[in-house]
Structure 1
Amino acid sequence: MHKKLSFIVLLLMFFGCQDPKNGSLEEPFSNFMGYGEYSVGFKSLFLSDLSREHVPYADWSGKLYPENGTSKGRKLPIHIWYPASEKSKLLPYRHFVNLITKQTQEEFNKESDSLASKIFAYQISELKGDSSFAQDQLDTLLALKTNASLNTLPVQQKFPLILFPNGTSPAIQSVMCEYLASHGYIVAAIALKGQFSHVVDTSTKGLEVAVDDLEFALQQLLELPNIDETQIALLANAIQSSFCVGLASRNKKIKALISLEGGFLSQFEQNILNSTSFYEPQNIAIPILAIYAPHPSISPHHIYHLKYSDRYFAHFPKMSEFHFLNYGLFEEYVPNIIGEPKGNTKKGFKAASELSLSFLNAMLKGKTKKFDQFYTKEIPKEYEITIDTVFKMAGIVPPPNMAILKNVFISDGIDAIESIYQSQIMEGNPTPFSMTFYNDFKNWLAWKKDPEYTNRLRLYKMAVKSYPNSALNNYRLAFYLDKNNADKASHSYYLKASQLLDKDSTLTQSQVADLKNAIVQALQ
């Protein structure tokens, strides 16, 4: 009996002392994360948008890879982590890596995994800036146990949906996806693509194409029975954060957004967003958590203008952009995997995950206690090493949308529009309506609703009050004053518009030239 007990003790000691780096334990390598009450299931949906053409696979350099057979439609696989009702064998990390190049179920079943591993290693080398990532290091990562099991039965209830896009889905954001799923969220990853190949385009056109991909993914996901379609949030890193903002600006189903050290906080990506039709402050009225790290192009002030959104900022001084993805945890297994870190990326990753969870719980589930600890008091002591700055910018109530304002006008006339404008001014909002609103509402009034030009005159008095340095607004006010025989006032505003032309950065060169000609003719 004594020998038997000794043998059992030795076995327990043996298995309990295994090095987690060798991936041999049946617990996930990320077990320190503080997973929630649910086991995590994982499944892949290999879908195609048949309304759009297929695009070939390409790596970051732009190199295209040959494909076998023909493909119909734009392949958009969606990878899903979800609360599971049963436990099963944990997937190796290799499973997620193998999926990064697979676009169909047939490819996943039949094709070699060598290309996926090659692409994964190539991306690590690109991020680090050298080719030192070795085969044995790759093998170490591929063998790690994840916290997800394949195709297990889901918990039979509805959960909020988190959409987490990344070009290397599902391999690079898997740990945070597992973490959120274990706490009662369905998390979906999609690799957004460019117009002509697998790699996204960092341009206005690229953003529009990516938003189309996100819309397709969201439509497909909302067909699933366990998703609460009233509670949807977006989470993204790098330029994907701006793609998500593009979706949020035109889809009111989105209830919250997390920018995980996203380029959304850069002037470059703000320029891309500003060149689209939908990106205006009144279209972004959802709460935003902006997690950011030291970077010369990233600053909170780039989204200060989103005045209708409650914006929560958290600065992680010892982290960098891609350490908020799985690379932050891989640092323990492959030191300096994407370059020398500034601090403890494992702790930084965990803190960012916990802050993100507390934000989502507050915004989608009404559980505010943990999140309030960050933004109503001092930074909790356990996070002082990883977070040095948090602050909130409260949003204001947005004005009614265009459809409501049109209905108000039909019912009560321009007086009611002016009343809404004045009420917003009184609440401290100097620009209640956007420049786009004035242009679109003007065009709408022109169709049999303002034969005497009086409504448009009153409309542009509001426009000039809010945007006094707009040459176009001053010109239009002058034009409508002229139509109402206010010659002296009209002349004054034409002159002001002329003076502002060369200073108005919102106008293109052709617009400036057209306005100059129009003003000259008006003053003759």
Structure 2
Amino acid sequence: MKKNLYLVIAIAICTLTSYSQSIVTNHLKYGEFSVGYKVFHEYDYSRSFHSKYDYYGNPANNTIGRPMQISMWYPAEANNTLKKMQLKDYIGYSASEIDFSKNTLKDRLVAINNFIKTVDASKQDLITNLLNKKTYSVLNAEEMANDFPIIIYAPPMNTSATDNYIICEYLASKGYIVVSALAKGQYTALQDRTVATVHTQAEDLAFLLGFAKKTYTNNNIGVFGFSLGGLANIVFATKNKAIDATISLDGSVMSQGWLNTIKDSKLYNPEEFTSNLLLIGKNLSAPEQNPSIFYDRVKYADKALIRYNHNQHSYFSGLNLLYEMILDDTLTFKEKETNYAFYAEMTKYVGDFFDQYLKNKNTFKEFDKKLYKHNFVFKKGLRKPLDPKSIGKTIIDKGFDYTNKVINDILKHETQYLKKLDWRELLQASISLKNNERLDEAIETLLLSNKVFPNWFVTNHQLGKLYLEKENETLAEACFRTALKDNPRHFESLQALNDINKEVTDYHKTKIDNTVPYLGKYVVDKERYRNIYIENDKLYLSSNYWDEPVELWPYTTNTFLVESDNPRNNMQVLFQFDDDNNVKSLSIRGLNSGRINEPNLKKD
């Protein structure tokens, strides 16, 4: 009987002191690799942090540059003789996250003791026991020589790099290099609730990527973050198109308060987001409390949304979860075990998502057996349209057929895409193709340009020249005549037709007889105006901000030509009419650019 009683007491004591990482890992199978952990002290000299001078203007003797203490987890060579780190070691390294001189064993012990003292005295032994638990990492273990993908972790507001160390260790065990740094303000240790803070943390992530790429060549890159870090990482991945996968753990991108702060800023661009996206959040039963507005507007990336059926933001941090399960006397053992299971399950989703998009494994899917109630939504993304400014270069680099196929695919879901292309770029691409003896592709490129900017005389003139090189005089003539319909005064097209002995009609033979309805003043803005008038039987257009008037030829009811060979006057005057066919306004069409200015209203 006594034996049984002692056994019960022993089990109770063990239970009391083991609400820790070991409970989480009961539900978590680590990867094949041992894990190492290193700390690096770097400065980002492109950004300041400490003041260079004191209040009186004297040198402050501070290091120039933003301090970046970098935590790195990595696959390590297996060595069972090496001692694994204790959880308190992570706490100790927080001492030097701002001041690198505080990197002695004594400094780290002070940081650990100070942390323990933040807890009620009656619970300090429990926290001490927790901090003495072993982690999965070995300090400064020998790295494995392999080309592993890179993952960057963005911690929550004002929090150390190691708050989600369990996930970081787990990812390293699966074959990833994981780097992180303290979430700090722009010029102080503490962050505030501003857009500038988000931008600053996003820049920190960019620095971490640059640091990692100095050593690791793998171009498969992921980023994950929690809380504010789960917004900063999205801002970072929006700008950096090299990021293949982004995960936000109950991120501020789903916080109504932060959405109100960020959504009107230049940093919030869901339509430009192209990194494959996973949002994991809370409040399954009340999703309106964590709106998925950003997720809903992402079109050009695979995206997944998982909502768990609890409302505890802090449970998305490994360290916070461990502390709370130790300190919260109101939860039963079963409830705490369930919360550990949630965190472990979330961690596995994180690993599976990165495996799918950084290692091309078909691993990310909804779990058949769920440890904690949640939903799972996945949507395949559309292909991001090519940057319209890149089409010319793409034609040159990959060929017209390839590019045209891509464009046709884009048009299936972006019906106005052609309007975004630039005829100048396509013209330059055509010239380059022609100079490199790719004449057929040069012609196809200009035919595409005609779809982009129909009937433009510059395009058609160049197209006619290419058809002449192909000895197709019939198509060449048609192009030159199309150019003249758009710009009857275009000398080069007139000359080209003469060169192939084709008849050309003088545009002066086309004229409207009654120009009186067009005469008068046209308002540009409060200070500027234009005026059409007749003088010495000639029609003129003047302006109060021009040096001299230009002579007009009333070619058609809609278009007057400018009778000038001065390049500054290379334009046409276009007219708009009201429902009763009265002249309502005029617009200037530039013949160097093809751009049509805003209408100038006719003043009665």
Structure 2 length-normalised TM: 0.59
Amino acid of the residue matched to residue 84 of structure 1? A
Distance 1:178 1:422, change over 3 A: closer
Shift of 1:16: 11
Q: 1:521 to 1:132 in 2, by over 3 A?
A: farther
User: 355, 364, 371: which one pairs with 2:349?
Assistant: 355
Confirm whether residue 141 of structure 1 aligns to residue 130 of structure 2. Answer: yes
2:107 equivalent in structure 1: 111
Where do residues 217-232 of structure 1 align in structure 2 (5 Å cutoff)? 217-224=208-215, 227-232=216-221
Measured against aligned partners, the alpha-carbon deviations of 1:186-242 in whole angstroms (never above 9, x if no partner) come to 211211322221223432222222222111111111122xx3431110011111112
The answer for the alignment partner of 1:6 in structure 2 is none
Give the equivalent residue in structure 2 for 1:75: 67
Residue correspondence of structure 1 range 336-485 to structure 2 within 5 A: 344-368=338-362, 370-372=363-365, 374=366, 379-380=367-368, 382-383=369-370, 385-405=371-391, 407=393, 424-425=410-411, 427-429=412-414, 432=417, 485=573
1:287 touches 1:310 (CA, 8 Å); kept in 2? yes
Q: CA deviation at 1:137?
A: 4.0
Matched residues, percent identical? 20
The alpha carbon displacement at 1:41 in A equals 0.9
From the superposition, tell whether residues 140 and 296 of structure 1 become closer, same or farther in structure 2 (CA, over 3 Å): farther
TM-aligned CA distance change 1:336 to 1:523, over 3 Å: farther
Q: Secondary structure at the match of 1:114?
A: helix
1:99 pairs with 2:103: no
Per mean C-alpha deviation after superposition, the further-off stretch among 15-24 and 318-327 is: 15-24
Deviations 1:136-180 (A, max 9, x none): 343233222211111111112121111112142233111111111
**Distance (whole Å) between structure 2 residues aligned to residue 336 and residue 485 of structure 1:** 82
Partner deviation per Cα, 1:97-128 (whole Å, 9 max, x = no partner): 12223135531215364356546876xx8xxx
Deviation per residue, 1:262-308 (Å, 9 max, x gap): 12234554555555546534532221111111165412343211100
Q: Is the 8 A contact 2:127 2:323 kept in 1?
A: no
| Structure with greater contact order relative to length (CA < 8 Å, sep ≥ 6) | 1
Q: Output the CA distance in 2 between the equivalents of 1:162 and 1:337.
A: 37
Q: Which residue of 2 aligns with 1:487?
A: 575
SS state at 2:150 partner: strand
Q: Which residue of 2 aligns with 1:40?
A: 35
Is residue 50 of structure 1 aligned with residue 50 of structure 2?
A: no
C-alpha distance in 1, partners of 2:579/2:171? Answer: 62
What is the CA–CA distance in structure 1 between the aligned matches of 2:174 and 2:18, rounded to whole Å?
24
For 1:365 and 1:144, locate their aligned partners in 2 and report how far apart those are by CA, in whole Å.
Answer: 32
Write the distance in 1 (CA, Å) between the matches of 2:171 and 2:378: 23
From 164, 177, 185, give the equivalent of 1:186: 177
- Local SS of the residue matching 1:428: coil
Task: Please tell me whether the aligned partners of residues 293 and 320 of structure 1 are also in contact (alpha carbons under 8 angstroms).
Answer: yes
Q: 2:161 aligns with which of 153, 170, 174?
A: 170
* CA displacement at 1:394 relative to structure 2: 1.6
- TM-score when normalising by structure 1: 0.68
Aligned partners of 2:330 and 2:50: how far apart in 1?
31
* Unpaired runs of at least 5, structure 2: 1-9, 52-59, 427-448, 455-558, 561-570, 581-596
Residues 195 and 106 of structure 1: CA distance in aligned 2, closer, same or farther (over 3 Å): closer
Which residue is 1:242 aligned to?
A: 231
**2:327 corresponds to:** 334
What SS is found at the alignment partner of 1:304?
helix
**Structure with more of its chain in helix, by fraction:** 1
Structure 1 or 2, whichever has the larger Rg, is 2
Structure 1 stretch 45-54 or stretch 136-145: which is displaced more? 136-145
Aligned length: 426
- 1:10 is aligned to none
Q: How do 1:285-296 residues align onto structure 2 when only pairs under 5 Å count?
A: 285-294=274-283, 296=288
**Which consecutive unaligned segments of at least 5 residues does structure 1 have?**
1-14, 57-67, 126-130, 446-454, 461-480, 493-517
Counterpart among 277, 280, 283 of residue 269 in structure 2: 280
